[in-house]
Structure 1
Amino acid sequence: MLKSYAAIYKQGHLDWLDDAPEQDNVKVIVTLVETIPQNLPMRAQEILQQAWACMEKPHTIQQIDNDIAQMRSEWE
C-alpha cells in the first residue's frame, strides 16, 4: 500500500512536516510540489507561537467568542 508523507527537501535531506515514515531503508518516489520561500516558518507550531506572540496577552476561545459577539452587536 502506498502512503504519502509531506517533507521539505533541503540540502540533500528530507525534513518531515508531520509524522515521518516508520520504515527505514525503503524506496521512495519524490514529487516536487512547489518552492517554499526560505523566510517562512515551516511547522504549524512555529506559526502558532508567532501568532500568539503578536497578541498582548493570550486569549481563551471564550474571550475570542465574546469579542466577536460584541463586534456583531455593534454592527446591528
Structure 2
Amino acid sequence: MSIGEAINVLAQEKQITKYRIAKNANMSQTTLSEITNGKNSNPTIETLEKIAKGIGVPVSHLIKKVEELGQIEK
C-alpha cells in the first residue's frame, strides 16, 4: 500500500475529509490530492508531518499504517 492509500485509510478511520486534512495541515488540496492519488509517491518528511497533523495523528502513526498495509518492509 502506498502512502497515499494509508492517508485515505486513516482519513476514513478518523472520519475526516481530505478537504479538512488539507486545511488542518495548512497545505493545498492539490498537493494532498497528488499524494493520495499516487501522483506524488515520495513526499518529504515535512509534508508527511503536516498531513499527520492534519489527520490528528503523530507522523509515526502514519508511517506505521503504511507498514501495516504492506508497503514499507522492515
Shared fold (TM-score, shorter chain, > 0.5): no
Q: Which has the higher helix share?
A: 2
Normalized per residue, the structure richer in strand is: 1
Structure 1 or 2, whichever has the larger Rg, is: 1
